Amino acid sequence: MTASHANPALLTRRSTLGLLLAGLAGNAVAPQLVKTVEVAATAAAPVVKKLAAPTQSWPSLDALGQAMVDKKLTPGLSLSVMHAGALLYSKGFGLANVDSSTAVTPQTEFRIASITKQFTAASILLLAEDGLLTLDDPLSKFMPDFPRAADITLRQLLSHTSGMGDYINGQSMDVLTRAQTRDYTTDELVKIISARQPLYRAQPGATWLYSNSAFTILGIVVEKLSGMTFADFVFKRLFTPAGLTQTSIDKTCTVASVCNGYRPNYKAPTKFDTVLPVSASFAGGAGAIRSTTEDLSLWHHALLEGKVLKPQSLRAMLTPTLLKNGTPAYERRGNDPMEYGLGQGLGSMNNLKLASHGGRINGFTGHLRSFTEQKLTVAILYNSDGGGAPGFAAAQRGLKTEASRLGLEYLGLSKA
């Protein structure tokens, strides 16, 4: 889905750069809804070995990253390339905060927007492993009062094939402005999602249709079945096993920003306007996480190494979805086709399988991709949403392509 930059609260599947088999076996145990409990994050903090320094010096990548900063497309960006858990390249460019001149490093935390969706998908797959659900359960099993909940399945929600519309893109400006500065309860969020008209834009299973609503609903399902807040669940079941030490979901929008978000404005003294992202409570399972490029690289490493999901769950995430008529659920067709699994876009480069997802929320853009069989990962985060700036999309494409090319060349796999 290509979205307009005119909306200051975008949460898209991919940034302007063009921006995880069948169901798990067995019947689900009827879920026992329990009282929400808070997990003390500090008590369960992961203990991980510090990543070794990057081994590669890639001047062409340095030049592309710095050019985006010099051309005022973004105040700063972070880029990491990892192979099998070892950093090949990791560098920050430009500024995390324009006013204070704080520099970006690979440890700078950015909002990752829709890259969050693969964490939400992994959460649902973990609950399936726990026996609390199956992917083909109807939503009505967990949220019986949601409109047409009996007609859509968790699998359809996970693959953007439920036909559900979107509560963020195209939303009223008044709602989106309030969402930048206040926190939301689950009931409030469900009401906002349900109020969007049309709530369903297609029949379930008939087509691929990007939906932030679907993934925010999935985050609510995680809370209902786990008895935890979504933030606590992903910390305990995803971030900690993966060894992520700089990845989190803010529990209130009053938390100080780790990295400011910006939009290009060539008339402004700094050439950028500061913009607030929507609160994590509003973005939910569709886009609440903030992270670093090194942590995102570790996330894909842990995912592909089986440190988070069982093999059958990972296969489900990385298997292209089929529509009801048996045809693939294409996110994008043409010369560079992209199918969709469960929270992951599935394509190829140089005939090598690629799992990827991008994201954009006002003030931030990101992209995460892995060559799944080669265990090569590229993570890029920007503290700019592009704002319609000429050249932003092309520069992003160039950066991710060059990072991928250099990584494959390091492995001896790139084409001449």
Nearby residues of 36 by Cβ (< 8 Å), 6 or more positions away: 223, 227, 228, 229
Q: Residue 49: what pLDDT?
A: 57
- Does residue 359 contact residue 287 with C-beta atoms inside 8 Å? yes
Structural domain including 77 reads: 57-410
Domains: count for the chain: 1
CA distance 118 to 330: 17
Q: Is residue 2 part of a domain?
A: no
Average pLDDT across each block of 10 residues of the chain; the chain has 416 residues. List them in order: 38 40 28 32 47 96 98 98 98 97 96 98 98 98 98 98 95 89 96 95 97 98 98 98 97 86 95 94 97 98 97 98 96 92 97 97 97 98 94 97 98 78
Three-state SS for 125? helix
CATH assignment at residue 158? 3.40.710.10
Q: Is residue 21 part of a domain?
A: no
Q: Is residue 34 part of a domain?
A: no
Q: Is residue 22 part of a domain?
A: no
Q: Is residue 116 part of a domain?
A: yes
Q: Is residue 15 part of a domain?
A: no
Nearest to 262 by CA among 17, 11, 73: 73
Q: Is residue 127 part of a domain?
A: yes
Q: Residue 415: what pLDDT?
A: 64
Tokens of 313: 């769950």
Q: Is residue 119 part of a domain?
A: yes
Q: Residue 30: what pLDDT?
A: 31
Q: Residue 22: what pLDDT?
A: 25
